[in-house]
Amino acid sequence: MYRPAVVRARKRIYLEPWVTGLIAFISLIVLAVCIGLIVHYVRYNQRKTYNYYVTLSFTSDKLYDEFGQEASKNFTEMSQKIESMVKNAFHKSPIRGDFVKSHVIKFSQEEHRLLAHMLLIFRFRSTEDLETINKNIQRFLQERLQDAVGPPKVDPESIEIKKINETETDNYLNNCCGTRRNKSTNQSLRIVGGTEVEEGEWPWQASLQWDGIHRCGATLINGTWLVSAAHCFRTYKDPARWTASFGVTIKPPKMKQGLRRIIVHEKYNYPSHDYDISVAELSRPVPYTNTVHRICLPDASHEFHPGDQMFVTGFGALQNDGNSQNHLRQVQVDFIDTKICNEPQAYNDAITPRMLCAGSLKGQKDACQGDSGGPLVSPDARDIWYLAGIVSWGDECGQPNKPGVYTRVTAFRDWITSKTGI
């Protein structure tokens, strides 16, 4: 069937100006509401860190003198017990998901009361109200610590809790030995060819410089004392020409300080590597910061074992006879049993009770020239780091069956106290 084509004239729609205005206005409102909702949602889900300083009194079958000394074995055990009691207190509470960690910073004794001082860290949604949060934390601690099994036994009535800011938290942590702020997860193979470390990863590392030139590493053990190797001061003895610098780069350093006094072990006798330890006093104390603070010293009775996690750090050469580096490097090494290290194909009985071996029997993971005097460190179960060894000697660097040899710090624990009071 034939249909005539209908040619329709397109009708143009003209909107009144006020209608256009209205549509624009409504669109804007809808957009604003959407943005508002998104912002609200993001903010609601964003967590903010809340730090608290908590003191609580407790009773224990141990005397204060037995566990009061920071970084001692008993201190660590007591801290662990109290930290896990606190953790468990929040474990069954509605805020368990917001709990990050508890960290004992010290113990004190007041009028026959034993006090634990600790930091509590939470991450709450930022919308929650501060008053309620504080009350809840106090309430959960009081309720749950009541029936926590001891010893130690916490007095729930004694719990005091104070909100502190980030700077205060940092200051408390920087005053504790062996704490680290920045931890990179990428592991390097060796100082020889490994990766550079980040600021604050190894805050106790120092570079010892003679007339401004890097010679050795050293480790900060308190605000004024460094531990290093004896052989670093063999030909260079005048403290006035030595400086110690801190930070991950030698140039520019984070901090720099002259030396006032160098004490080399009385029994160090070149060319023997035995008793390769020294302590050096800074001319002025360094202030602790996130990137510069001290390591812990292990008890004299502490034994490190194969399988313990260990790192050596330094500005030393990447290979035998190489140059020192401007940027600090780290290498993960294995603790090697002295018996194995003394076997004929290794060091053939050259390892004395004052030395320890670490590295890899396969080679590759090692310290090298310029790392001498620097730290070999190991963490405990609370992730607090201890000085296990001092870079001392080795047959070249990174050779198979020739691991690095370190001064065994535990053998000199009492010597260090006798010289520095630490």
Compute the distance between CA of residue 95 and CA of residue 113 in angstroms, rounded to an integer.
30
Among 311, 394, 410, 419, binds ligand ARG (CB under 6 A): 394
What positions carry a catalytic annotation? 231, 276, 372
Q: How far is the CB of 420 from ligand ARG (least distance, A)?
A: 23
Stretch that binds ligand ARG, among 48-56, 127-135, 295-303, 387-395 (CB under 6 A): 387-395
Binding flag, residue 391, ligand ARG (CB under 6 A): yes
Compute the distance between CA of residue 205 and CA of residue 176 in angstroms, rounded to an integer.
16
Among 369, 378, 407, 410, binds ligand ARG (CB under 6 A): 369
Contacts of 277 (CB under 8 A, 6+ apart): 227, 228, 229, 230, 265, 268, 390, 407, 409, 412, 415
Find, among 368, 402, 367, the residue nearest to 388 by Cα: 367
Stretch that binds ligand ARG, among 6-14, 284-292, 300-308, 393-401 (CB under 6 A): 393-401
Find, among 336, 250, 246, 257, the residue nearest to 293 by Cα: 246
Stretch that binds ligand ARG, among 24-32, 167-175, 198-206, 388-396 (CB under 6 A): 388-396
Q: How far is the CB of 392 from ligand ARG (least distance, A)?
A: 7
* Shorter beta-carbon distance to ligand ARG: residue 156 or 374: 374
Site string for ligand ARG, 329-368 (x = CB under 6 A): -------------------------------------xxx
Token pair for residue 7?
């040619």
Among 194, 298, 370, 375, binds ligand ARG (CB under 6 A): 370
Strands (E), 153-303: 153-154, 160-164, 205-210, 213-220, 225-228, 242-246, 255-264, 278-282
* Shorter beta-carbon distance to ligand ARG: residue 152 or 217: 217
* Shorter beta-carbon distance to ligand ARG: residue 315 or 412: 315
Q: How far is the CB of 316 from ligand ARG (least distance, A)?
A: 6
Compute the distance between CA of residue 199 and CA of residue 192 in angstroms, rounded to an integer.
20
SS3 280: strand
Compute the distance between CA of residue 75 and CA of residue 154 in angstroms, rounded to an integer.
16
Question: Is the preceding peptide bond at 253 cis, omega within 30 degrees of 0?
Answer: no
Binding flag, residue 274, ligand ARG (CB under 6 A): no
Find, among 92, 111, 71, 105, the residue nearest to 300 by Cα: 71
* Shorter beta-carbon distance to ligand ARG: residue 271 or 307: 271
Among 83, 201, 274, 371, binds ligand ARG (CB under 6 A): 371
Q: How far is the CB of 73 from ligand ARG (least distance, A)?
A: 29
Q: How far is the CB of 369 from ligand ARG (least distance, A)?
A: 4
Altogether, the residues listed in the chain come to a count of: 422
Site string for ligand ARG, 297-326 (x = CB under 6 A): -------------------x----------
Binding flag, residue 404, ligand ARG (CB under 6 A): yes
Binding flag, residue 397, ligand ARG (CB under 6 A): yes
Residue least distant from ligand ARG (Cβ): 394
Q: Give burial (CB, 10 Å; 0-12/13-18/19+) of 136.
A: middle
H helical segments located in 259-341: 338-341
Token pair for residue 363?
């080679």
Binding flag, residue 70, ligand ARG (CB under 6 A): no
Q: Give Cα separations from 295 to 77, 137, 302, 418 (angstroms).
A: 18, 32, 16, 18
* Shorter beta-carbon distance to ligand ARG: residue 107 or 268: 268
* Shorter beta-carbon distance to ligand ARG: residue 83 or 366: 366
Identity of the residue numbered 95: I
Among 106, 193, 393, 422, binds ligand ARG (CB under 6 A): 393
Stretch that binds ligand ARG, among 12-20, 25-33, 283-291, 389-397 (CB under 6 A): 389-397
Compute the distance between CA of residue 144 and CA of residue 154 in angstroms, rounded to an integer.
10
Binding flag, residue 375, ligand ARG (CB under 6 A): no
Look-up: residue for tokens 């010892």? 208
Look-up: residue for tokens 């490190």? 304
Residues interacting with ligand ARG, by CB under 6 A? 316, 366-372, 391, 393-394, 397, 404
